[in-house]
Amino acid sequence: MALINSPYNYLLYYAFICAAIPWFYSYYNDQHRLATMGVETAITKAWDRIISIPTINFQKIVVGINCNVDVIMQGVNVMNKINVTGIERIEDHEELSSLSDLYSTFLHFFSKGAPAERFMANEDAFKILTKLAESKDEKVHHSIGGNAAIMAQKMAASFPTTTVTLVGPIGPRSHALLHPSVVRNNSTRIVQDELHMIYEYKQGEIIGEFVAPASSRFITSHDQFSGSSIVIEMFFKVIAQVKPDLVVLSGIHLLQFQSKEMRLEKLRLLKRSLLQVNPLLPIHLQMASMSDPTFANEVLYRIIPYVDSIALNEQELTFLSKIGNGPYNEQYPVRSGALHVHKVVEMLYWLLSTFGHNRASPDSPNYNYRLQRIHFHCLTYHIVVSKGTDWSNLAAGLAAGAKIAGKQSCNLQHSRGESDLLEIRTSSRTLLDKHQDKVYEFDPHNPIASWMRNEIVFIYTPVLMMQRWSRILPSTSNFQQARFLRKRITVTDQPVIKKLKEPGADYLKDATTYSDVQSALLDPHSSLPYPPEQLENYLDNAQKVVKKSKYKGRKASALNFDHIPIEEQVVALFPGQGSQHVKMGGKVIDCPKSKELFDKSSEILGYDLFKICMEGPKTKLDQTIYCQPAIFVASLAAFEKLKTEREGLEDKLTDTAGFSVGEYAAMVAAGVLSFEDALKIVKIRAEAMHECNQRVASGMVTVKVNANSKLDEAMGEAREVSDEANELPLCEVANYLFCGLKVVGGSNKALAHLESNAQRFNIQIVKKLEVSGAFHTRLMEPAVDIVKEALKGVKMNPSSCNVYSNYTGKIYGRKGSEIKRGLYMQIAAPVKWEQIQQLLYRKHKEYNFPQYIEIGPGRQLGAMLVNVSKKAFKNYSSYPC
């Protein structure tokens, strides 16, 4: 007891307490810091803890066999410029033989938001595309292209002590763009660069009736040297001479565009050469887009088993599974959005099990195979799969790849606050392996998950993405700063023939050296082949030129409301037929101005509209001749009451849009039409459309489609069935609601055929609409002339805000004749509501949105808006009547 109470022991206790207090304080601070850390920052720091530098680096690397110059342009602008007409059908072409094929194939993938690459077999057509890129009225972005050249570029920039040798067709401009430390092979130098035209587009961009559901790109080329025997032979000759530590092979997908005999001969050459490479020398194959099933099958069986490692994305993986009869092969082609992880895992397991090395069975063909590693990458997650013990540092490599993928997506290098530009898109729980019931619980501090199935190791991690995409490039390419690309402008819309007469830009005169476009991995500045200051000045001047040339001689269409803060701007949305219900109008009749509208309507229509709205019966209210005027008046009555409750609403009203008959309410709200004139036209419109419905028994159904759907074929077959039954061959899209959801109008016979064959065409009939006919189809054509006649003499006033056209999916111009045409033409044309919603969504500034108010019966327009953008929907409200 005396020892315990000794003064020396008290000093020891005090020392222990003094040491414990800072430790507990530090521990508490660490826990608090981790708890309050942002998700994106936490996951980045977790990757940093995992990433470890290999003890032995590769000293010599040989990369081949494709090299080109990427010519990056805005795809929508290019498609509008080539001005192709007479396209009967939008479909994919495995090989492009004309500009019409290019236009059709581009739209095919544009409508799905899926990346694609196709070979342009027609040299003259490709020259036209080259001339378009060389025209002086639009700056394009040139960068080093070809997976082999891009990887060589990044290796040389990231690892200064490593000697990187590139074997591929290197022209004057690609030579200037390459990193100075990349060793070139003079035997494969060419006089003129091979060009890859990359046509990019952003989510929500519109071409005609098509809306891009996701940001992506389309690539076309006319390569002559990348897949040549000379380059292939030189590649393996350099391997023998240099004796590298690593071989990276890419560009074999370019062989698919050659004749069957020629490409088979070159695939045999590749396989023979691969078998002669030292088994201890690792060979990595970078996959790329393939469209020919026969060629892909040859690659799967002749090339993939004889490399040690491959990297591929979701399109390439699903295509290999499809042609190899692997699991989930129905997923090809992948539509916009990511594949479920457990499906990818099954396909990767099949690929590595079937075509991977198997040491356990010397008698099986797999014993002589080399494949032991696969790196799968998509926008939202990466997976590494490995078999055997030859590949180490797998988790570190996966973390490094995931980290750099997010940076590349928005051209970040070493900037601080980078997590503000990135976001994680993953659910809290993700099924990883259905076979083993492996579930991933998202934890930003421990983002990587790993597990084994038999002898195969799987490692998974989510990936950070750019919050707002401005450019989409292949995962091996550098991304450009968004501020330049959002401002890129088209100065002219002249035909292609005139473009061909203009002198093109001299490639060598305009060429840049590596110092102008250093690797985005090293230097935090633009990789555009033009000085940033010069580009800024060009864009500012070009905007002025555009405004002068584009609007010269006519009135501007879109009104500018930049003086009103975006959060205070109001977008009024008016519903259409189908939203009606008994007792609508009852909530607003207490407002004197609202009651006045109902009183006026009874005088004009000749019956008590308010009584029908309040008492029905529903069967009467659902009839077109009563329904359209009722929705029109009830919506405007609600608008009048809303204006009394929200003082200054009209001053902040910047945009109005209405669905079908709701467009007339939007016109009145914008001051274009008077209430009396609009109601008279709506009455005539309703009677004319009702009369059209008497021609044939018809209706409308809501149809859900995906990338694999064949809706056009289904509607074509339905029309044939109706024709054979001596009915009107009517079956066509009547409304574009939002991505993947359309309304189809047609005869009852056609719609019945559509429903009974939905599974065969991979479409889903969601519901049959309670309408009395096939509105906004050819059935309504007689009503067009009637409404056109009714609009004659009607005064069109200047609009106080932007009004959107159902017919074009764009903002109305200022001319009265243009507005009248849009109003009568939309009767027999599909309602382009999806296109209108995309324009309304794009009004945001840094994801600050205006106020979207649905005015009138129902919340149908809000239900569609949430499918376009959940962020925009947060600013949505409804004002019922």
HEC string for 528-540:
CCCCHHHHHHHHH
Alpha carbons 89 and 542: distance in angstroms, whole number: 36
Residue 114's closest CA among 322, 352, 268, 339?
339
* Rounded Cα gap, residues 140 and 744, in angstroms: 40
Asked if 71 contacts 133 with a C-beta cutoff of 8 angstroms, the reply is yes
CA–CA separation, 465 vs 510, rounded Å? 33
Identified catalytic residue from 135, 519, 660, 747: 660
Ramachandran quadrant class, 488 (left: phi over 0; alpha: psi -120 to 50; beta: rest): beta
Q: Choose, from 135, 228, 776, 805, the residue flagged as catalytic.
A: 776
Residues in the chain: 881
Q: Degrees (nearest 5) of the Cα angle 552, 558, 561?
A: 120
Of the chain, the end-to-end C-alpha distance in Å amounts to: 86
Residue among 370, 378, 369, 368 at smallest CA distance from 347: 378
Element (H, E) at 142: strand 141-145
d(CA 57, CA 49): 20
- Residue 474: is the preceding peptide bond cis (ω within 30°)? no
Question: Residue 432 corresponds to which tokens in the numbers above?
Answer: 């990883």
DSSP 829-877: S-EEHHHHHHHHHTT-BTTB--EEEEESS-SHHHHHHHHH-HHHHTTEE
Does residue 581 contact residue 657 with C-beta atoms inside 8 Å? no
Instruction: With beta carbons less than 8 A apart as the criterion, state whether 137 and 498 touch.
Output: no
Instruction: Based on the residue annotation, tell me whether 660 is a catalytic residue of this protein.
Output: yes
Quote the CA–CA distance of 112 and 715 in Å, as a whole number.
19
CA distances (Å), origin 870, targets 522, 866, 874: 36, 5, 7
Helices 99-110 and 123-134: crossing angle in degrees, nearest 10, is 70
Place of tokens 């990135």: 422
Exposure string for 387-401, b = 16+ CB within 10 A, e = fewer: beeebeebbbbbbbb
Q: What angle do CA 500, 503, 509 make, to 5 degrees?
A: 135
Q: Where are the beta strands (DSSP E) in 629-696?
A: 653-658
Q: Count of alpha carbons within 13 Å of 425, Cβ hemisphere only? A: 15
What are the helix (H) ranges across 356-442?
394-409
Tokens 């390439």 identify what position? Answer: 316
Of 136, 323, 106, the C-alpha closest to 219 is 106
Residue 693 · residue 830 · CB < 8 Å: no
* Cβ(269)–Cβ(305) below 8 Å: no
Question: Interior CA angle at 844 toward 841 and 845, to 5°?
Answer: 160
Q: What is the 3-state secondary structure (H, E, C) of 125-138?
A: HHHHHHHHHHCCCC
Per the annotation, the verdict on 690 as an active-site residue is no
Q: How far apart are CA 770 and CA 696, in angstroms?
A: 16
Angle at 138 between CA 507 and CA 180, to 5 degrees: 35
Q: Indicate the residue type of 491.
A: V
Could you list the active site residues?
A: 660, 776
